[in-house]
Each structure stands twice: as structure tokens, then as C-alpha cells.
Structure 1
Amino acid sequence: MLPPRFRTVVLSMALAAALAACGGAEQGGPQQGPGQVTVVTLKPETVNLSRELPGRTSAYLVAEVRPQVSGIIARRLFTEGTEVKAGQVLYQIEDASYRAMAASAQAQVQRATANAEQARLAARRISELAQVNAVSAQENENAQAALKTAEADLASARAALQQANVTLGYARITAPISGRIGKSSVTQGALVTANQADALATVNQLDPIYVDLTQSAAELMQLRRELAAGKLQANNQMPVKILLEDGSTFNHDGVLEFSEVSVDPATGSFGLRIKVDNPEGVLMPGMYVRAVVGTATREQALLVPMQGVQRDPKGATSAMVVDAEGKVAVRPIQVSQTVGDKWLVEGGLAAGDKVIVEGLQKIGPGMPVNATEKGAQPAAAAAAPTAAPADAK
């Protein structure tokens, strides 16, 4: 008989051996069944193709305010950075000399008016005397010529008065357009000259506003080839989405105004201009934005989710599909551009193919799988297992 202490050790070793045997039996059991994957069945659809292009904003209208007469700035009549209306007075130039010139021209008009009236009366009297042969025909002709000369002098005086009033009006410098005015380059008391090179201020009309974009000429040529081949249909009426620098979408869509007719030889690109409503003034000149511009429409297009497309180190793309035998097959594919969260398929897949989008980590080529369509309702859960039998006594 073994001592009690040794009997306990022997029983523990026997129990461990029994548990190991049970574990080995479990490991030697039947293999797991087919893998579970989620697939997307490709269906042809009509897709509006677009291109995301970089660009910068520019004012719809820009007007530089310059004086048209010389003088001292008497007052500045606007607040920098505010909205101004067309015709609003921005600066007042000291105008005493211009008012004096206008008053002198007005006096000349009055003198010419009096001379014209005197000549008119004289011509009428002499004409009446000439009818009764009281004066010679020569005197009558001279009187009529003097009247015409006086009337011409009056017209000239009135034109001089008009010119003087225009010059006087130029002493009040007004806004040429409506918009937001920037910083003033002069202050009260500054001397300005007519048609000087430096602007006093700049007014920008920001509603609407332009977005100037650049696009590769090679992309344009490829688009034209596909349109000519009938692969795409032109679609230039799509609204343009504007993406701000932080990635958010601007509240208002834009419209394509025009595209340049020449290509920049330094960059190989050409310009596009988009007009966008900007009532809140969010967009300011010089901001960097991106614009999603519609290019064309493709009929019978195939789109594959991005998670179903793999790339190898060389950049080649492929997708795993479930074939007719319910097994995994690898398909080399060609994709061209993204449409939302999907790739546009150019080759390698056909309508009806089941592309695997979930469960890719647990499968390999040739493995049988159970495929569930993405978005389909899951099957009913299996019945709960029966209770284990009671332990043997």
C-alpha cells in the first residue's frame, strides 16, 4: 500500500491524463463547415460622372476707386470693411475752387442768354423793317447772322457750365459698384491727383462669387474620346458642389460659366470658371476650395464597393467573388474613378457577379463559402441546444 500522500499524486496525474485524452478527441473531430461571407451582386446602373478639381475664389466684380480731379481729401464717408452701394459717396475732396469755376460758368451762361435775347429782338425788328423796305437786305442778313452767333455763344456757355458741374461732381468720389469695400489707402488731409496710379480703396462684389478651377488637358482629351466613342453622354448641366478647405460642403451649388480656350504650357492644364451664390458672404476672394464638376453620364455602369477591391504592392487591383460552385475566386479587375464610396469598374467584372465585401480575412481562393447578400435580413437563429444530461453518480 502506498502512503496517502503518494496516492493523491497518482490520482491527480490520472485525472490530468484523462482530460488530455478528452481534449485530443475534441481536436480530432470533424472540420468546420464553409465560411460565412457577405457579398454584393453587381447590377448595371446609370451613373453621373464627376471630377473633383482644385481652385480659388475671386470676386464677381472688382472696382478700384481713384480720384478724377486733384485736391485735398476733406472727409472719408465710409467704414472700412462694410457693404457700400453703387453711387454712395466715399470721399469728399475740398471743392471750393471747383464751385467757383462752376459759378463763373453759370455767369457766362447768363451773359450769353442776355446777348442772345438782344440779338433776337434786333433781328425781329430789322426783319419787320425789311418787309416794308425800310432797311436794306444787307442789314437784315447781318441781323440774322448776329442772332445765330449769339445763340451759338449761348450753347457754348451752357456746355462750359455742364463741364464745370461735372468737374465739381468729381470732387465727390462715389462707389462705382455695390459690394464690400476694403481698407482705405488715404486719410483726411491727404493730397490726391487725377487718375493717379494708386487706388484709394477697392470694392469687391462677393454675391455671386467666382471659383476659378484648373483641369488637366489630358483628362479633357480622354473625356472627348469616350464621348466620341459613345461610352459616355455629355452632361454639362449638373450643379457644381463646392467643398470648403475643412472638407465641408458649401450650402449653395454653382454653375459652370465657361472654360478657357487655351492650355497653359507650363502646367498642361486649362481654366474653368464657376459662378456660385454667396448671400452669407462665407466665400471670400483668394480662398482655396475644391469643386465637384459633372463631366458626363454613363449608362449600364458597374460600381463595386471599395471594401471589395484589393491592391497588390505593384498597384494591380483585384476582387474576390463567389463563383457558380459557391467557391471563392480571385478576379483581376480594372477601375477608373470613385463614385461616392464605390469604384467605377472598367473591366474584369460583369453584371451578376457576387463580389465579397465582408469576411475576406477568413477565406482564400477555392474555399467553399456561404454567401449572404449585403443588406439582406439575417436568417432565423438556430434553436438553442438541449440541456446537458445530469452528471452520473
Structure 2
Amino acid sequence: MLPSLKKSVVLVIGAAAMLAACGKPEGEAAGAAGGGMPPAEVTVVTAQAGSAALTRDLSGRITAVRTAEVRARVDGILEKRLFNEGGEVKAGESLFKIDSRVLEANAATAKAALVKAKSSVLIARQTADRYRQLVGEQGVSRQEFDQAEAQLKQSEAEMAAAEAEVRRSSVDLEYASVQAPISGRIGRALVSEGALLSKSSGTALATIEQINSVYVDFSQSGADLLRLKQLAKVGKLKQASLPVDLLLEDGTPYAHAGKLLFAEQTIDPATGTVTLRAEFPNPDHLLLPGMFATVRVAQGAMDATVRVPQKAIVSSPQGQLVYIVGSDNKVAPVPVKTGGFSGTDWIILSGLKGGERVMIDGIQKVRPGAVVSPVDAAAAKSAPIASAPAKK
């Protein structure tokens, strides 16, 4: 009997508790259950309205503004390297020394030949002058006089050839000291001491590059150029002189703005692209020839546009859309149509008017119609980070 009595008491107490809970107000019941979840916190930005530069990110390769290959211009044995590999050199600075003994002998031979040619000219001139007087007195024949005149001209020609040979041998002797054709940074030596250098093949010795400023060559499709021209024709795109920006291989922006130098006037039939070139200052030599980079080039200005960050755009099977937070802090999806980039932002052609609070973070945590707690991205970025409490 005792166990049955205990069961009856437990059932009566449970029923009384249920009746008491049902008799409480709804708010009190919810509070007893622990309360509802707070609104999800999301990051928002304000859609910016106004004019914007239409930009395009294009891949390019960096090249030096000037490149000079240092090559051998005379035959000989390389005796010495006179520069530090990877260092800066000045135009006219001696870089290599070639064995000059054979070249010195050639120069001496040429000078001796010139002295001999001058002596021949002197004798021929004296003979011609003497015959000129004698031919009038019938002392020599006209034929002998003509031969003397011809011999003088021949001797003068030989002397001119000897003078040219002296100059050539002198130039060859100067080439024994290989000098830098331009100022810049020189790479490694391509030959070592003792190597036989050839004038005919032009043995490569080193390369000098000027990189205080650099070129970036990049390509754009012909279809894009045609689209831009059509937008400009109907007045939707204004031509403007805007700077060119550069993104490094790791995605970080380069500190110095560049300028667009030219665009080729022909389309490459193999790739369907046109080549463009921009120039960037490189005072710290951060940009090196051969590196890949992304050029962000402004292709014109558009009026009455709306811009939002790339993270705000959500792609779906139905198209692109953004989530906006209304004045009641409720989330609503809005279909939009994009029209290219302006820096890191999308240009919105339709769907937004500007001034809307657009979600850029926390989109995956909410559903349409949900109430959220919006945090402005600019305010969150500028808010000071609370310092950690000191340890006791």
C-alpha cells in the first residue's frame, strides 16, 4: 500500500504545477523558459549615390623602362670583372677588362702604316709638282705627268685608308675596357675571368636595367573596348583622365599611382586583345621586371550611379540581389542589376537609389523578414578596441 500512496502524491503535485504554469501570463511563462533569442548582429554600409569611375582589373607583367645587354665588341680573353653583381652602375663606368695586348699591337701597326702612307703621299706630290713644270717645257711627256698625278691620288687614298685603320684600331683598344651603356642596376656576370670573348657572336656579359620607374604591359579584350565606346557614344560614360592603380601579386594595393601611356591601335588576331602600357614610379625598387601584377585602370566616369561593396552582392539562380535593412530593422532582399566595378565596389544600374542600408556581413545568419541589430561598417572600423583587463 505504501508504494501506491507515493505514486498518487507525485501525480497530484505534477498536476498542480502544470495548472499553476497555465494560469501565469504569457510573458511570465516565456521568461520562465529563459527568454527569446536577441536579434542577430549584422554589418551594414550605406549605398553611395553619385558619379563613379568605371574601372577594370587587368593582369599585366612588369618590365624595366630601359634594358641594355652588355656584350663583347672585340675578340679577346676576359681578364677581370670590375663591378659588384646586383649593384648600381653609372653610364660610362668600366665593367670588364679584356686582354688588350693584341689590340695594342694592332694599333701600333696601324700607326706605322699611316706614317708610311704619308711618306708616299709626300713623294708623289713632289713628283707631280716637278712634272707639272717640266711638261710645259717639254721636259717630260704628257703621259708621264698624268701618271704622276694618278700616283699622287692613289697615295692620298692609301693615306686616308691608313688613317681610318688607326681610328678603328683605337676604337677596338677602347673596347678592351667594357663600359656601362646606361645607368641602372646590373645583374650577375654571365662569364667569368679567362673566358674567350667573340666579337662576331657578341658574347653576352651582363644586363643592366633601369627600374626607378617601370612599365606594366597589360591586355584588354576588343569586346570590352567596343562596349565602352558604345557607352560613351550614348552619353552613359564620360571620358576622363584618371590615375591608374596597381595591385601586387598578394592582392595588396601599390602605394604609388601610375599613368596610362598608350594603347596599341590594332587587335591581336590570335588573342582578340589590345595591348596597353602604364608607367609607375618605383623609388623603393619594390617592383621588379618579370613580376605579375593587376592593373586597375579607370575607363571613364559614370553619373547618377549607386555603389555597394562586392561582399554585398549575392548571386542566385534568379539573378543578383542585395539584402537591405529597413527603418524597422527588418531584412528584405532586393534584386539589382550591376554594371561593372568602381575600384572594389559594384556599380548598381538598377534596384537601389542610394542611402539604403545594405548588409555586407552576417547574411548567412538571417532570413528575409527577420529583425536584426545593424552595425555600421565605418563605425565598427573606427571604434577603439577595448584593452584587456590587467592581470592581478
Q: Normalising by structure 2, what TM-score? A: 0.73
Is the aligned partner of 1:194 residue 2:199? yes
- Structure 1 residues 56 and 315, CA, compared in 2 at 3 Å: closer, same or farther? farther
Name the SS of the counterpart of 2:336 in structure 1.
strand
Q: Distance in 1 between matches of 2:83 and 2:167?
A: 28
Does structure 2 retain, via aligned residues, the 8 Å contact 1:66–1:196?
no
- The 5-angstrom pairing of residues 9-24 of structure 1 reads 21-24=23-26
Does structure 1 retain, via aligned residues, the 8 Å contact 2:190–2:205?
yes
Deviation at 1:264, TM superposition (A): 5.1
Is the aligned partner of 1:55 residue 2:60? yes
Corresponding position of 1:171: 176
| Corresponding residue pairs, total | 362
Name the SS of the counterpart of 1:177 in structure 2.
coil
Name the SS of the counterpart of 2:111 in structure 1.
helix
Amino acid at match of 1:218: A
Does structure 1 retain, via aligned residues, the 8 Å contact 2:79–2:99?
yes
Q: Distance in 1 between matches of 2:261 and 2:280?
A: 10
Amino acid at match of 1:252: H
Deviations 1:190-239 (A, max 9, x none): 1122232752222222232221223333322322222223211223x322
Q: Distance in 2 between matches of 1:43 and 1:263?
A: 37
Is the aligned partner of 1:204 residue 2:206? no
Is the aligned partner of 1:234 residue 2:234? no
- The 5-angstrom pairing of residues 85-96 of structure 1 reads 85-96=90-101
Amino acid at match of 1:293: V
- Structure 1 residues 326 and 157, CA, compared in 2 at 3 Å: closer, same or farther? closer
Which of the numbers 272, 278, 283 marks the counterpart of 1:274? 278
Q: Distance in 1 between matches of 2:115 and 2:210?
A: 45
Corresponding position of 1:31: none
Amino acid at match of 2:212: D
Name the SS of the counterpart of 2:286 in structure 1.
coil
Corresponding position of 1:45: 50
Does structure 2 retain, via aligned residues, the 8 Å contact 1:319–1:355?
no
Corresponding position of 1:333: 336
Corresponding position of 1:245: 249
Q: Distance in 1 between matches of 2:155 and 2:262?
A: 57
Q: Distance in 2 between matches of 1:123 and 1:225?
A: 82
Deviations 1:149-189 (A, max 9, x none): 33222212111212222232333333233222222222111
Q: Distance in 2 between matches of 1:231 and 1:24?
A: 59
Query: What percentage of residue pairs aligned between the two structures are identical?
Result: 36
Deviations 1:251-282 (A, max 9, x none): 32222233345555665444322222223221
Q: Distance in 2 between matches of 1:196 and 1:331?
A: 69
Deviation at 1:62, TM superposition (A): 2.6
Deviation at 1:51, TM superposition (A): 0.9
Corresponding position of 1:349: 352
Deviations 1:271-318 (A, max 9, x none): 322222223221111112111111111122222455765443x26223
- Structure 1 residues 77 and 126, CA, compared in 2 at 3 Å: closer, same or farther? same
Runs of at least 5 residues in structure 2 that lack an aligned partner in the other structure:
1-9, 31-40, 380-392
- Structure 1 residues 326 and 133, CA, compared in 2 at 3 Å: closer, same or farther? same
Q: Distance in 2 between matches of 1:373 and 1:277?
A: 36
Deviation at 1:102, TM superposition (A): 1.0
Deviation at 1:357, TM superposition (A): 4.6
Does structure 1 retain, via aligned residues, the 8 Å contact 2:325–2:359?
no
Q: Normalising by structure 1, what TM-score? A: 0.73
Deviation at 1:74, TM superposition (A): 1.5
Name the SS of the counterpart of 2:165 in structure 1.
helix
Amino acid at match of 1:173: V
